[in-house]
Amino acid sequence: MFRIGIFIISGLFLSGAAEALGESRIDWQPLSLRLIDRGGVYGRMLRLPDGSLFFVCERGGTIRARQSRDVGWTWTDAQEVARWQDGSLANPELLSLPDGTLLCFHNRRPRKEAKAPYAIAVSRLEKGASAWSAPAVVYEAGSERGSGCWEPAAVQLPSGEIQLFFANESPYLKSQEQEITLMRSSDGGRVWGAPERVGFRAGHRDGMPVPLRLNDGAGIAVAIEDNGFEGAFKPVILFTTLADSWHSGTVIGQHPGRWGALTVPLPAQTYAGAPYLRQMAAGATVLSFQMSDDGEMAHSRTAVCMGDIQARGFGTITCPFPETPGASQLWASVCVKDERTVTVLATVTVNGVRGVWSVDGHLER
């Protein structure tokens, strides 16, 4: 076990309040800032039933994991989850099953000379096991740029069905379009059904889906980035009831099950991509994304706002990480640590150190 030190922050730390849900707000805690993985990218964190925290990220083309049993103050040394001889692995995402199994979905990205397909794969860590299983391929796309699949994320329904979502451009080899694809498993992620198109805006690119089963049982909300809604990519919600569960067909551009997440629209040129969605126990939903006023992803800051129990009405935008001139803040995610605490992770640079950092915010009313 090693201790992640507290880094003293010079300059301004933005700790504003998000007031989208009545009097609810998030007060960011500067002293909670932690470096989890130096050099890591695309960090994701999950609280397990025993109260421990599990973390995965990509680094050097592999997927690696750490665990914390003291609410994120210290983390175990990194353990390798998966690697791939024909290319790099990216976009890890965790799902905890009721029997204690952990699933880690990830994206295979082939080297050009390997001529292997882009793919979505999953590794398993059975309860009590010390090592992850060899990755199993769930879906294969094309092998050339412009024919890939990306960014898997999954949710489990009360019935036990796992729904896996990912961005998929392989059906659109003659255009630049991209859809959100769904695959289902009823046996804990071992066997998967046929791919289904659940999100698509003609002439545009739906991407980076993150599903959430809403607390009140009303349905499933999926946060995506949509570059056909209001100019550059903006956070958008796709929705279905649990009873329908996407069986009624694709949520197209003008579908009533598709809406802009933000209460106050951003300017058309503002880039606001890579959304991530979670929900507090009391019902407030928390949305993170990366935002750049000039439309350049490389100039992004991590942004967070709060919405209602139906994943609507996301209001005041706050920036939980300190700004470092010239350094982007990318690939944020959200973990609900307890009833009053939310943790945001992103690949940022603090005092010259780049990697996956985390910061806590306290929900207040």
What is the DSSP annotation of 85-132? TTEEEEEEEEEE-TTS-EEEEEEEEE-GGGTPPPEEEEEEE-TT-SSP
Intervals of the chain under pLDDT 50:
1-23
- Calpha distance 41→91 (Å, rounded): 9
- Calpha distance 196→279 (Å, rounded): 26
Q: Is 259 helix (H, G, I), strand (E, B) or coil?
A: strand
- Calpha distance 133→126 (Å, rounded): 8
Tokens encoding 327: 């350094």
pLDDT at position 13? 34
- Calpha distance 238→253 (Å, rounded): 10
pTM assigned to the model: 0.93
Residue 112 burial by CB count (10 A; 0-12/13-18/19+): exposed, middle or buried?
exposed
CATH fold of 2-364 reads Neuraminidase (2.120.10)
Q: Is 229 helix (H, G, I), strand (E, B) or coil?
A: coil
Q: Is 246 helix (H, G, I), strand (E, B) or coil?
A: coil
pLDDT at position 158? 95
- Calpha distance 215→248 (Å, rounded): 22
322: left (phi over 0), alpha (psi -120 to 50) or beta: beta
Alpha carbon of 357 to those of 127, 305, 338: distances in Å? 28, 19, 19
pLDDT at position 24? 64
Count CB atoms within 10 A of the CB of residue 181. 26
Nearest of 352, 349, 346, 355 to residue 28 by alpha carbon = 346
Q: What is the CA radius of gyration of the chain?
A: 19
The 8-class DSSP code of residue 192 comes to: -
- Calpha distance 121→88 (Å, rounded): 12
Q: Is 279 helix (H, G, I), strand (E, B) or coil?
A: strand
Tokens encoding 203: 């002439």
Alpha carbon of 327 to those of 152, 209, 235, 351: distances in Å? 26, 25, 22, 11
| Sheet with 234-241: strands ordered across | 206-213, 219-226, 234-241, 258-260
- Calpha distance 338→142 (Å, rounded): 41
C-alpha 81: how far from chain center:
18
Nearest of 361, 362, 360, 358 to residue 43 by alpha carbon = 358
Nearest of 120, 149, 160 to residue 245 by alpha carbon = 160
Strand partners, 178: 205
pLDDT at position 218? 82
pLDDT at position 7? 34
Domain ranges of the chain: 2-364
pLDDT at position 217? 83
Alpha helices in 200-255 (DSSP H): none
